[in-house]
Amino acid sequence: MSKALHELTIHEALTGMRQGDFSAVDLTQALLERIALLDGQVKAYLTVTAELALEQAAQADARRAAGGEAPLLGVPLAIKDVLCTAGVRTTCGSRILENFVPPYTASAVQRLADAGMVMLGKTNTDEFAMGSSTENSGYFTTHNPWDLDRVPGGSSGGSGAAVAAQEALAALGTDTGGSVRLPASYCGIVGLKPSYGRVSRYGLVAYGSSLDQVGVLAKDVRDSALVLSAMAGHDAYDSTSMPAPVPDFTAALTGDVRGLRIGLPDEYFIAGVQPDVEAAVRRAIDVLGEMGAEIVRVSLPNTDKALPVYYLVATAEASANLSRFDGVRYGYSAGADSIQENYRQSRGQGFGAEVKRRIMLGTYALSAGYYDAYYLKAQQVRTLIKQDFEAAFEKVDVIACPVAPTTAFRIGEKADNPLEMYLSDVFTITLNLAGMCGISVPCGFDGAGLPIGLQLMGPHLGEEVVLRTAHAYEQATHWHTQWAQPAVTEV
């Protein structure tokens, strides 16, 4: 049975367009119709750029007809609304930037545009990417396509839901503490978090500058490799981007894991993990073992310190980064009589509760008398966490573990308990603290039919081995072929 256009992967769509089976305009129109049909319930998009998308698709068709080609020519993608897009509003999920239209485009987005991408729109996010459920958006909550009463994960929940509902072929997200991998796990898709410095952060509105990384949410591992290949590489506009060569990541997808050593970390299989999640992840690791990989127990002894370290480092950096939103230069302004009162009212009215909470936590951690006790100490322990990973990767090639302790929880379930919400990230934040790479790939469902993700972690600039392992597992199983079927209700 042939697939509908919105059901295609990127590599299937590229083959179809190159063979002349359909045009980029046909493909884009099919996805815009899918958005119109479903997004009233899913609420993945903050802004749909239908006119721009059709214009870009027509340009892609003309370029192909003239004999031109590009890695993503005519492929419709969605962009998380924390990445600047010239001429298209960029809200960061916050009321303080409700009408902000950037004068320039983020480097990662520009590279995809140069590769021929068609931009469908900007996806919903927890405000300034601060959250694990997309309930902290200043506009509305995104719903999980597998169960509309549940969260899609966060903060890239809009991107995750858009791909899972097949309202985009893939989407960009950002990952500061798990914000690509968590939505991928909750939504049953692939989520790739590259190493720190692999993809430029220029034009990404900063939350935690030493932690943020632009990543990919996709239908399968090959698609994530295609998008990463198009946007990775050194950028003179970002001093933290690595001057490392960018391989063809799709070349790593051999389907073979024989000889690979896969680490099983003692600290990631602990009390409190949902039994269905642990069982699915352990089965996935068994599959890799049956395919010829060697399973090796490893220890990451400072894992238990990661959560407090992360919420000190991230909030301290957020406090500094968000000081630029002052009601003077851009964004919302309360228009108060005095400059001090305008600062107070603009920030008080423009920022949501979670953003205010993190700004206050970070400001406290950086304040005189507490800097050494909190922020400096957190950075020292962060080094120990990084050293744990470096020692482990001397023994193994990849580390396998759950993405999250549970499957997607109900909307509102954790809204009144920020600490419980923060615990959703307990298995993902370590990679950001260490600056290393990781991927979430579907590995099963719980008793309620909700997706479960397998997390594969790799060393810094180790994307090839992570993608190789994820692809081999994916091809040996059928989980990635199962899709959410959100009900369409008449409005």
**192-209 per-position pLDDT tens digit:** 999 999 999 999 999 999
155 preceded by cis ω (within 30°)?
yes
15-53 per-residue burial string, b: 16 or more CB within 10 A, e: under 16:
ebbeeeebbbbbbbbbbbebbeebbebbbbbbbbbeebb
Instruction: Please give the Cα distance from 193 to 312 (Å, whole number).
Output: 21
Active-site position among 23, 43, 80, 137: 80
User: Which band of pLDDT confidence, cut at 50, 70 and 90, is reported for residue 490?
Assistant: low
Active-site position among 155, 195, 229, 424: 155
Instruction: State the average pLDDT over residues 388-407.
Output: 98
Delimit the domains of the chain by residue range. 5-301+385-481
pLDDT of residue 1: 52
State which fold the 5-301+385-481 domain adopts: Amidase signature (AS) enzymes (3.90.1300)
Instruction: State the average pLDDT over residues 209-217.
Output: 98
pLDDT of residue 491: 44
Respond yes or no: is residue 80 known to be catalytic: yes
- pLDDT, tens digit, for every residue of 95-125? 999 999 999 999 999 999 999 999 999 999 9
Respond yes or no: is residue 377 known to be catalytic: no
pLDDT of residue 429: 98
pLDDT of residue 417: 86
Instruction: State the average pLDDT over residues 301-317.
Output: 97
**Which helix (DSSP H) or strand (DSSP E) does residue 15 occupy?**
helix 10-19
Instruction: State the average pLDDT over residues 288-314.
Output: 97
Instruction: State the average pLDDT over residues 433-460.
Output: 98
pLDDT of residue 200: 98
- pLDDT, tens digit, for every residue of 327-376? 998 899 999 999 999 999 999 999 999 999 999 999 999 998 999 999 99
Respond yes or no: is residue 305 known to be catalytic: no
Give the neighbor-by-neighbor strand order of the sheet with 451-458: 45-48, 118-123, 76-80, 170-174, 214-218, 190-193, 437-445, 451-458, 398-402, 261-265, 294-298
pLDDT of residue 420: 87
Query: Model pTM?
Result: 0.97
pLDDT of residue 60: 98
- pLDDT, tens digit, for every residue of 242-286? 999 999 999 999 999 999 999 999 999 988 899 999 999 999 999
Instruction: State the average pLDDT over residues 171-200.
Output: 98
Active-site position among 179, 200, 229, 319: 179
pLDDT of residue 469: 98
Instruction: Please give the Cα distance from 481 to 488 (Å, whole number).
Output: 21
